[in-house]
Structure 1
Amino acid sequence: MSFEKELREELRQAADSMNCPPHLYRRVSESYQHYLNEKRGRSPMKKRILAGIVAVAILIPTAAVAASYLADDIFGSSAVIEQHGGTQEDYQEIEEMLQVAKSKLTEEEFPEYMELTKQVAQLKLKITDENGVKHEENLTKEEQQQLEQLGSQLAPYFEKINGNAKP
């Protein structure tokens, strides 16, 4: 036999002849059980954290896409604008304008602004054909007066939104 094998055999025989005190055996066993329980406890926690991160990564963009547009409150959808010669970019510009208005107007002013804007938009859609050309002669006298009146009612809001309002 080689020297290493002889040494290993001698150490094994010496270990077999040794007796471990019962209290030491119990302490080692408890320590090992504690280690195993701790190790098992960490794994599900890591899985939960990972699952939470994945859920957030999925839900935040979904919520951003699913959020309703302010322009939808006025037009219903972007298809309405496209039927009247507009594009998706036009729709996005209107949405951006409404978002700016929402940030600059108070909570009391914004719903009034939206209602007036909706009325103006309905009149403008009525006179706009599928090529985007406006035919103001299609409005009745009352509708023309209403359009002018709505424009004058919206003027203070536009001043506030554009930053030209006087305190």
Structure 2
Amino acid sequence: MHTIHSKDGMQNPYSLFKLMKKRGLRGVAPTEHWRAATLKVIERDGRFIIPACEYKTTDYGEVIGLFISEHIENRSFEEIAEDIHACNGLVVLPHPRDPLRKYTAIRKGLPDNIIKKHVDLIEGINSRCIIHYFNKRAQILAKRLNKPMT
């Protein structure tokens, strides 16, 4: 999910708690492009906003950091992943098998050994993936590499 802080988001960040309550969610992680909107977990009435960011790497497409606590500069996939882990965050590989997106692992040739070493979670379902088969391929990748899915 992106908020109005990203070019393709329409959600006002101040309305996230209301949205969570309406949908029965306990937490969300708005993943803004290139710079996190918050660097700390925000809690209200037992609901949480998790700090997150979607980075565009210089080599292998996009990567998401969850629970990040500092701003991270866009660099190589491995450097960003190491920075995310250094602040005790989780590395998520977003929409890894969607060839219709410009900055995905499949289009950029991200090797399995880098995924195994640096990625904590693989996005198994992306609601903006227009062809369901690409989500299915992401799920197959996660199972093959023994990675949990978001």
Structure number with higher strand proportion: 2
- TM-score band, normalised by the shorter chain? under 0.3
TM-score of the two chains, using structure 2 as the length reference: 0.20
Structure number with higher helix proportion: 1
Structure 1 or 2, whichever has the larger Rg, is: 1
TM-score of the two chains, using structure 1 as the length reference: 0.18
The structure showing larger relative contact order (alpha-carbon pairs under 8 Å, at least 6 residues apart) is 1
